[in-house]
Amino acid sequence: MEYPTIARKPPAPPSPPDDPPAPRTAASAPPRRRAPVRTAAAPKLPVPPGTPRKKAAAAGPARARAPTTRERAEVDRLEKLQTLIIASLEDDKAENVVALDLAGRAAFADRMVIATGLADRQIAAMATHLEEKLRQAGLRRIQIEGASGTDWVLIDAGDIVIHLFKPDARALYGLEKMWGADLDEGPATAV
């Protein structure tokens, strides 16, 4: 049984047009390849279905990775930034401004500020004004997501994360319930 050739030799340079091609003889033909010797194959293990990403997720976290810990920000600096953020939001007529302390509970930030705006333009203006004031305060890496007219704008100012919602979206996501202090106490135990 012959197997198809996978790797090919480079083509021979073209012969001059005057010479006819040489006839093939048994001596000029390439040698035949032998069929590979088959041995008893190990039983195949079932392959789990899914993409490589799903397989990695099913395998669990990598053991070689060290847990990442964030250094806490200075409390005075956080207080000044939080005061600046809340003042800016109140100047822009934000409603129901809430500040949550996440220190020790979240790895992504130490504080969270949540506010409500009534219209897309108001929320976009609040985000723009906040970005300008935070840059003036010395922050350089400010990330804004959703400022192009959505129900939710997220501003990542490093140690403080600001969420600007429309009223319906704020009620839907319920971040105050998720990150509020009342959940830290746990369920009451009856004696």
pLDDT in tens, 14-59: 766 665 556 666 556 666 677 666 666 666 666 556 667 666 766 6
Radius of gyration of the chain (CA): 33
Q: Cα separation of 19 and 12, whole Å?
A: 15
| Domain 75-177 fold | Beta Polymerase; domain 2 (3.30.460)
Apex CA 149: angle with CA 144 and CA 150, to 5°? 80
Max CA distance (Å), the chain: 108
Q: Cα separation of 1 and 4, whole Å?
A: 10
pLDDT top residue among 68 and 117? 117
For residue 186, pLDDT over 70 is answered with no
Token pair 């804004």 is at which residue?
A: 144
pLDDT in tens, 131-173: 899 889 888 888 888 777 678 888 888 888 999 988 888 888 8
Give the pTM: 0.57
Domain ranges of the chain: 75-177
The pLDDT of residue 115 is: 92
For residue 123, pLDDT over 70 is answered with yes
